[in-house]
């Protein structure tokens, strides 16, 4: 620890910013190629007049580092040679530009002046990093959707449009503005800084996608450096106005399908910028303001009941394909104990009247449907940015820069639930300050220190202050979003020092971030009531079985929709919960009171690096970076963790499974964090050493074949490198943990699944919106909170679904390597091809620590997955009871337990129902699709749900023990049915091939083309801000490799292209250069710009398990393919609706339901690809009173072809039926429900520049 502190202090004593600067280096030779030592090289800032001077070393090399980005002029002088001046060198951010020159023999009074090639500025000949720079011309002139600079950041090779970079997660980008951290510490949105970067405020940026040097880091993804404009020795300014209108905007594809009119879109973006000198050569200023006023609508589709539901009528498809209609009296006769709830009937009748079905893309087609409308989403944004630059002394040894950012925004947080419900609002007020001091100690020693404060502040409003009410998959009257406010200042100190010694350029530095988050969160301050069909006994089968028993058969593909509808018609609360929050002293907060947290952490980084120019055409870069972050903590002590790390606990469960002795130790929670004098939620990871190595070589051939192939020195560049990089983690998962876990200063009382039926144990009647929960049966209001604490071990707790954090979490790491070859070609062309590899280990994912045991019987050697597979084989062929073998598994594990009586009581309500059968036959009878003597078919999902069967086994262990031993489960963890926890357990592998072609042709044409061919595999793809049961969840942690498949973001082919073409017609151009001014006003000054994107489709999971939960208690497995199948998207599918499959029935029948332990097909199908063409057509008018003043009119079109790239097939009824290989799927199976991008939008702009 002492060594680390010394290292960090040492790295911060001298200083230069780690990002946001540029470098210029090169070699000076004579005309015969011999190096010239001792030449005087002077670099002058062309815009601000400052200069630096060096002498070339024995290799003829020079190197200027830590420069402000911008235009430079280079002057080289040597005895016996003509003076040479190279003008207009572009110093681009996070990149060293090679400017090697050859001097001609002559007198010192003779001057040769040349202009630098703009192509040289974009070529990397120094290290292995990949990534393109974008300059001011591209930022301001390319067609930008919403004038959002972030839209340009993905125009790189190896980058998906939504921010996944060369196999790295999209929340691992590191964004700096002028070298200061501007990351969103909590959400980590790709390419989205806390401080808005407007096109008129950014002079340039670079996205380093792979193998950044050791002086960049923090996270394993893209290193994004944005640079704010600064003033120069000339005054420059602009005024602009961009406008969009509903008239020139196309309608959404699904709006057209539903007959919904196009949404409103009125957008006005306006503002200006000005910069110039306060004192020439010494003091400069820049200021810009941009405002946005937008009135727009967004198409929204909500599930709603049809009018028949409000009348108490149920409709469904029967096995013959016809429609059966049951009236209210018929249903009340079938369900006499519960009847139909007039309150929910009235709620659905009102909903059907207010929100009539106009979209059949969602819903079951008979009882429910979609209501599509245009939800208003007003936006008001105000952005102000100012920068000051001061050359303190005339020798330019000290330069001070200050940037200020101020934003004030109001917008819709989300779309309203329905047209007559409130729109949740969002208020945001980010501010930022960055200050830097650059100290040129001498010609070879430079230090830069930077300090920044980036303060994110926002309040997200809700749309209801009542308890949640949801008729699941039928109707929810509000979104029930809750208020959330957060103030998050980040204090950033950055310091680098550079020493140039001969052919070595040494750098060392440090980076400190002090992160604070003050949060008021009402997300878990309210209670909820849900009419949830799947929470009924037998996982909802009790809602459909009585209808079948009454003589009304239901198609297997329609049984789930019937259960959904009946749950709403009966109108009883089958799932409800009360959320309790506590103060630090253990007192219970009132319902609806927001929770206050003060969350904090600190991060420390340091690095050492040497760039060794071995020869003029060979450069080695090697270094090491070290980072350590303090475990995120709550400053007031509102923090708790398990006493045994959950990773260790899970290993105990795995060992118990193998020995046949369940590991049933109770999980205990105690106080944690520094305020309580306890360890944090996870341990500090001290082992974050990150070595980096790179080589760049420009081979030199003297003649012959190799000369023709490689060209001159500098024409061909070979580069390669390796880096070990760590994922950033901590703040995001801490917020997820604090917002969702109920193990510390929050708790929850909830109804377990299978608590209610429709005969002997009906749930409470739903009485309306805002119904109180805390007085309902099964809800226990806690007393004073004390620690340590633990949840009780009861049968009801076996079904609890909770979330936590594994204290064994450690830093995820990635091995990243690449090899690149680039070649200059005539006409300003440069072609570059790269191989990129990434191996990710210890990646963050969530897993179920309480995963149901795959218990092994030591005597027979059989485990649960094996015997369940035997039973599944018997069921699939409808084997009679007489054909069921006696499996010793059930006899051995249930000694001292009346298993036969327990199964009869659990599934039939009669403990004698299975008397006379063997234990194996009784288990089979519980899941079989054949008639059981005296009972009939135990049909529905309950008999097919393997985890419910495991629950029945533990029901036997709790209530049917005959040996007097204490009740104890053998499959379930005693306190939790599911305990999902963030852990460092995921892996990934990425391999990609990229090709980039760039052209910088004179001052007329600039374009970049990027192609990527790649494959990414992982065991989980979810981001740290995602929920614990989403795409970050490894469904079966006992067999985690079953989850390994294509990454969620795996995109086989990606193409992006951008171009700016100043059409060479008009005064001073290649064509019609001498025309009069009046003619030039018509035919001169035209410009065409384009952005094109195309990618192949993203992965899609197999359909969900129609038998519900085969493996995990909370998350359904996916179907298992039984024959080759691929998605074949069709625009005009069944019923004229676009569908993921050409033949949905055949597709559904290509899967079987998963068996116990199986995860199913993850990401085995593909969505359609995406394509979009944006272009802009501009016309410049030079002002008659000054050639330096112009007026630009621009017409921009986004998605010019109005292509609707479809997606969203997994939204509605995307599950295979119970009899998957013979039955048809439910209505809407495989239907697309949304598009991957907006429809065609036009934008008009007027810009005045001086």
Residue range 157-177: mean pLDDT, rounded: 92
Q: Find out whether 1121 and 1151 touch, Cβ atoms under 8 Å.
A: yes
Q: How far apart are the first and last CA of the chain?
A: 57
**Nearest residue to 713 via CA among 201, 159, 60:** 60
Q: Could you tell me the pLDDT band of residue 1212, with boundaries at 50, 70 and 90? A: low
pLDDT recorded at residue 674: 96
Other Cβ atoms within 10 Å of 1044 Cβ, number: 19
Write out the H or E segment, with its range, that includes residue 650.
Answer: helix 646-659
Other Cβ atoms within 10 Å of 38 Cβ, number: 12
Residue range 364-380: mean pLDDT, rounded: 94
pLDDT recorded at residue 932: 80
pLDDT recorded at residue 1183: 87
Q: Find out whether 490 and 181 touch, Cβ atoms under 8 Å.
A: yes
pLDDT recorded at residue 18: 46
Q: How far apart are CA 111 and CA 641, in angstroms?
A: 73
- 487 Rama class: left (phi>0) / alpha (psi -120 to 50) / beta: beta
pLDDT in tens, 312-349: 999 999 999 999 999 999 999 999 999 999 999 999 99
Beta-carbon contacts of 102 under 8 Å, excluding residues fewer than 6 positions away, are 28, 29, 30, 31, 33
Torsion angle of C-alpha atoms 273, 279, 282, 287, degrees rounded to 10: -10
Query: Is the per-residue pLDDT at 439 higher than 90?
Result: yes
Backbone angles phi, psi at 681, to 5 degrees: -65, -20
Q: Could you tell me the pLDDT band of residue 179, with boundaries at 50, 70 and 90? A: very high
3-state secondary structure 47-106: CCCCEEEEECCCCCEEEEEEECCEEEEEEEECCCECEEEEEEEEECCCCEEECCEEECEC
Eight-state DSSP code of residue 355: S
Q: How far is CA 183 from the centre of its chain?
A: 14
Helices (H), 74-229: 136-141
Q: Could you tell me the pLDDT band of residue 15, with boundaries at 50, 70 and 90? A: very low
Task: Name the maximum alpha-carbon separation found in the chain.
Answer: 114
pLDDT recorded at residue 31: 87
pLDDT in tens, 271-325: 999 999 999 999 999 999 999 999 999 889 999 999 999 999 999 999 999 999 9
Q: Could you tell me the pLDDT band of residue 9, with boundaries at 50, 70 and 90? A: very low
- In terms of Cβ atoms closer than 10 Å to its own Cβ (0-12, 13-18, 19+), residue 675 is middle
Q: Find out whether 446 and 478 touch, Cβ atoms under 8 Å.
A: no
**Nearest residue to 1245 via CA among 141, 432, 508:** 141
Q: Find out whether 576 and 750 touch, Cβ atoms under 8 Å.
A: yes
pLDDT in tens, 511-567: 999 999 999 999 999 999 999 998 998 778 899 989 999 999 999 889 889 999 999
Eight-state DSSP code of residue 168: B
Please, what are the domains in the chain? 2-122 (2.60.40.1120), 864-971 (no CATH), 1063-1200+1217-1249 (no CATH)
pLDDT recorded at residue 960: 96
Q: Could you tell me the pLDDT band of residue 1016, with boundaries at 50, 70 and 90? A: very high
pLDDT recorded at residue 1086: 95
Beta-carbon contacts of 714 under 8 Å, excluding residues fewer than 6 positions away, are 98, 100, 125, 617, 698, 824
DSSP 671-701: E-SGGGTS--SS------EEEEEEEEE----
Q: How far apart are CA 813 and CA 839, in angstroms?
A: 8
pLDDT recorded at residue 16: 35
CA distances from 398 to 71, 391, 791 (A): 20, 6, 62
Q: How far apart are CA 507 and CA 907, in angstroms?
A: 71
Query: Is the per-residue pLDDT at 72 higher than 80?
Result: yes
Q: Find out whether 1107 and 1149 touch, Cβ atoms under 8 Å.
A: no
CA-angle at 906, arms to 902 and 907, nearest 5°: 120
pLDDT recorded at residue 939: 55
CA-angle at 1186, arms to 1180 and 1192, nearest 5°: 20
* 908 vs 1189, more confident: 1189
Residue range 507-511: mean pLDDT, rounded: 95
pLDDT recorded at residue 189: 85
pLDDT in tens, 571-594: 999 999 999 999 999 999 999 999
pLDDT recorded at residue 1132: 67
Beta-carbon contacts of 1078 under 8 Å, excluding residues fewer than 6 positions away, are none
Q: How far apart are CA 639 and CA 804, in angstroms?
A: 12
Write out the H or E segment, with its range, that includes residue 253.
Answer: helix 253-258
Q: Could you tell me the pLDDT band of residue 7, with boundaries at 50, 70 and 90? A: very low
Q: Find out whether 254 and 1233 touch, Cβ atoms under 8 Å.
A: yes
Residue range 669-698: mean pLDDT, rounded: 95
pLDDT in tens, 932-975: 877 776 654 344 589 999 999 999 999 999 998 999 999 999 99
Q: How far apart are CA 501 and CA 581, in angstroms?
A: 61
The rounded mean pLDDT for the chain is 91
Q: How far apart are CA 1136 and CA 301, in angstroms?
A: 19
Q: Is 289 helix (H, G, I), strand (E, B) or coil?
A: strand
Residue range 1118-1134: mean pLDDT, rounded: 82
Query: Is the per-residue pLDDT at 2 higher than 60?
Result: no
pLDDT recorded at residue 422: 95
Identify whether 613 is preceded by a cis peptide bond (ω within 30 of 0). no
State whether the Cα torsion 578-584-589-592 is positive or negative: negative
The DSSP bridge partners found for residue 403 are 387, 434
Q: Find out whether 566 and 543 touch, Cβ atoms under 8 Å.
A: yes
Say if pTM beats, i.e. exceeds, 0.75: yes
pLDDT recorded at residue 94: 87
Beta-carbon contacts of 193 under 8 Å, excluding residues fewer than 6 positions away, are 175, 177, 182, 183, 184, 226
* 754 vs 1058, more confident: 1058
Query: Is the per-residue pLDDT at 639 higher than 80?
Result: yes
pLDDT recorded at residue 534: 87
pLDDT recorded at residue 3: 39
Query: Is the per-residue pLDDT at 1177 higher than 90?
Result: yes
Write out the H or E segment, with its range, that includes residue 1013.
Answer: strand 1005-1018
pLDDT in tens, 1185-1200: 887 899 999 999 999 9
pLDDT recorded at residue 944: 59
CA distances from 48 to 60, 277, 281, 389 (A): 28, 9, 5, 10
Question: Helix, strand, coil: what percent of the chain each, to 5?
Answer: 15, 40, 45
Q: How far apart are CA 968 and CA 794, in angstroms?
A: 9
- In terms of Cβ atoms closer than 10 Å to its own Cβ (0-12, 13-18, 19+), residue 1076 is exposed
In this structure, of 550-564, 932-946, 1125-1139, 1162-1176, the range with the lowest mean pLDDT score is 932-946
């Amino acid at each position: 620890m002492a060594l680390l502190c010394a290292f960090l202090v040492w790295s911060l004593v001298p200083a230069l910013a780690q990002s946001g600067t540029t470098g210029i280096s090169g070699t000076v030779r004579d005309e015969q190629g011999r190096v010239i030592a001792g030449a005087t090289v002077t670099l002058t800032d062309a815009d601000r007049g400052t200069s630096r001077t060096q002498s070339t070393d024995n290799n003829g090399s020079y190197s200027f580092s830590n420069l402000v980005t911008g235009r430079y002029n280079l002057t080289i002088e040597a005895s016996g040679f003509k003076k040479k001046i190279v003008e207009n060198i572009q110093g681009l951010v996070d990149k060293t530009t090679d400017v090697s020159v050859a001097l001609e023999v002559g007198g010192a009074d003779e001057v040769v002046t040349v202009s630098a090639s703009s192509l040289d500025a974009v070529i990397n000949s120094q290290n292995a990093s990949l990534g393109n720079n974008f300059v001011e011309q591209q930022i301001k002139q390319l067609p930008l959707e919403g004038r959002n600079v972030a839209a340009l950041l993905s125009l790189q090779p190896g980058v998906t449009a939504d921010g996944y970079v060369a196999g790295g997660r999209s929340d691992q980008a590191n964004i700096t503005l002028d070298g200061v951290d501007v990351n969103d510490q909590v959400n980590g949105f790709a390419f989205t800084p806390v401080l808005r970067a407007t096109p008129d405020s950014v002079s340039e940026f670079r996205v380093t996608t792979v193998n950044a040097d050791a002086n960049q880091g923090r996270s394993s993804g893209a290193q994004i450096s944005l640079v704010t404009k600064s003033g120069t020795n000339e005054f420059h300014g602009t005024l602009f106005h961009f406008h969009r209108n509903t008239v020139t905007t196309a309608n959404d594809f699904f709006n057209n399908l539903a007959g919904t009119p196009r949404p409103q879109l009125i957008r006005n973006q306006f503002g200006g910028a000005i910069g110039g000198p306060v004192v020439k050569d010494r003091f400069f200023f820049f200021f810009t303001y941009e405002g946005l006023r937008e009135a727009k609508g967004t198409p929204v589709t909500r599930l709603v009941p049809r009018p028949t539901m409000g009348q108490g009528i149920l409709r469904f498809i029967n096995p013959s394909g016809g429609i059966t209609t049951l009236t209210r009296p018929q249903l009340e006769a079938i369900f006499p104990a519960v009847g139909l709830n007039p309150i929910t009937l009235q709620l659905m009748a009102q909903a059907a009247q207010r929100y009539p079905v106009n979209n059949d893309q969602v819903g079951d087609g008979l009882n429910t449907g979609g209501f599509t409308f245009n939800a208003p989403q007003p936006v008001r944004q105000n952005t102000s940015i100012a920068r000051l630059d001061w050359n303190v002394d005339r020798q330019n040894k000290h330069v001070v820069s200050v940037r200020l950012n101020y934003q004030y925004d109001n917008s819709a947080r989300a779309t309203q639930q329905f047209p007559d419900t409130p729109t949740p609002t969002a208020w945001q007020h980010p501010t930022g300050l960055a200050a830097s001091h650059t100290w040129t100690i001498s010609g070879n020693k430079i230090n830069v220190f930077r300090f920044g404060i980036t303060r994110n502040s926002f309040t997200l409003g809700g749309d209801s202050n009542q308890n949640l009410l949801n008729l699941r998959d039928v109707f929810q009257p509000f979104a029930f979003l809750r208020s959330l406010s957060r103030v998050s200042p980040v204090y950033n100190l950055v310091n680098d020092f550079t020493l140039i010694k001969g052919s070595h350029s040494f750098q060392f530095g440090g980076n400190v971030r002090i992160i604070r988050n003050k949060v008021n969160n009402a997300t878990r301050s309210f209670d909820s009531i849900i009419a949830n069909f799947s929470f009924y006994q037998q996982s909802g089968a009790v809602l459909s079985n009585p209808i079948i028993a009454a003589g009304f058969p239901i198609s297997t593909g329609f049984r789930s929709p019937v259960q959904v509808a009946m749950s709403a018609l009966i109108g009883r609360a089958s799932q409800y919960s009360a959320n309790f929050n506590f103060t630090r002293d253990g007192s219970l907060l009132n319902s609806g009171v927001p929770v206050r947290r003060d969350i904090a952490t600190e991060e420390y980084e340091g690095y050492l690096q040497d760039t060794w120019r071995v020869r003029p055409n060979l450069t080695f870069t090697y270094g090491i970076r070290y980072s350590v972050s303090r475990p995120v903590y709550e400053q007031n002590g509102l923090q708790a963790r398990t006493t045994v790390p959950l990773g260790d606990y899970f290993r105990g469960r795995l060992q118990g499974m193998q020995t046949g002795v369940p590991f049933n130790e109770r999980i205990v929670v105690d106080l944690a964090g520094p305020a309580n004098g306890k360890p944090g939620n996870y341990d500090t990871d001290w082992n974050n050493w990150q070595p980096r190595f790179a080589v760049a070589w420009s081979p030199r051939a003297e003649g012959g074949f190799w000369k023709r192939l490689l060209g001159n020195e500098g024409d061909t560049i070979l580069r390669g490198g390796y880096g070990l990089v760590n994922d950033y983690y901590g703040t995001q998962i801490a917020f997820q943990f604090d917002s969702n876990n109920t193990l510390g200063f929050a708790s929850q009382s909830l109804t377990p699944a299978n608590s209610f039926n429709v005969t002997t144990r009906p749930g409470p009647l739903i009485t309306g919106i805002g119904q109180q929960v805390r007085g309902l049966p099964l809800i226990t209001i806690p007393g004073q909170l004390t620690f340590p604490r633990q949840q009780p071990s009861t049968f009801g707790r076996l079904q609890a679904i909770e979330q936590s954090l594994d204290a064994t979490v450690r830093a995820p790491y990635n091995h990243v390597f690449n090899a690149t070859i680039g070649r200059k070609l005539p006409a300003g062309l440069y072609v570059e091809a790269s191989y990129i590899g990434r191996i990710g280990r210890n990646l963050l994912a969530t897993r179920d620590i309480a995963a149901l045991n795959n218990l092994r019987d030591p005597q027979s050697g059989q485990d649960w997955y094996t015997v369940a597979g035997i039973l599944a084989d018997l069921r699939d062929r409808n084997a009679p009871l007489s054909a069921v073998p006696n499996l010793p598994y059930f006899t051995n594990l249930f000694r001292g337990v009346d298993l036969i009586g327990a199964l009869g009581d659990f599934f039939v309500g009669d403990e004698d129902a299975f008397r006379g059968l063997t234990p194996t036959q009784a288990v089979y009878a519980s899941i079989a699709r054949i008639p059981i003597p005296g009972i009939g078919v135990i049909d529905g999902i309950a008999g097919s749900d393997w985890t419910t069967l495991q629950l029945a086994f533990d029901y036997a262990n709790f209530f049917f023990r005959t040996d007097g031993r204490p009740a104890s489960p053998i499959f379930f963890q005693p306190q939790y049915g599911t305990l999902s926890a963030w852990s460092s357990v995921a892996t990934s592998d990425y391999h990609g091939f990229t090709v980039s072609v760039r052209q910088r042709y004179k001052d007329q044409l600039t374009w970049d083309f990027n192609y990527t061919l790649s494959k990414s595999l992982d065991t989980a793809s979810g981001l740290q801000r995602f929920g614990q049961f989403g795409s970050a969840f490894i469904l079966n942690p006992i067999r985690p490799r079953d989850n390994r498949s294509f990454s969620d973001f795996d995109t086989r082919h990606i193409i992006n292209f951008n171009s700016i073409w100043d059409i060479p017609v008009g005064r001073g151009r290649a064509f019609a250069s001498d025309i009069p001014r009046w003619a030039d006003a018509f035919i001169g000054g035209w410009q065409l710009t384009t952005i094109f994107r195309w990618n192949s489709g993203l992965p899609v999971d197999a359909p969900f398990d129609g038998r519900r939960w085969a493996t995990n208690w909370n998350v359904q497995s996916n179907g298992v393919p039984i024959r080759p199948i691929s998605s074949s998207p069709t625009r005009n599918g069944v019923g004229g609706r676009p569908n993921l499959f050409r033949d949905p029935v055949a597709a559904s029948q290509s899967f079987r339901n998963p068996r116990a332990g199986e995860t199913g097909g993850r990401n085995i199908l593909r969505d359609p690809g995406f394509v979009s063409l944006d272009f802009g057509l501009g016309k410049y008018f030079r002002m008659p009173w000054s050639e330096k003043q112009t007026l630009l009119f621009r017409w921009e079109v986004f998605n010019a072809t109005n292509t609707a790239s479809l997606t969203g097939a997994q939204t509605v009824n995307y599950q295979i039926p119970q009899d998957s290989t013979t039955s048809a799927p439910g209505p809407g199976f495989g239907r697309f429900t949304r598009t991957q991008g907006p429809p065609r939008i036009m934008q008009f702009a007027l810009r005045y520049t001086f």
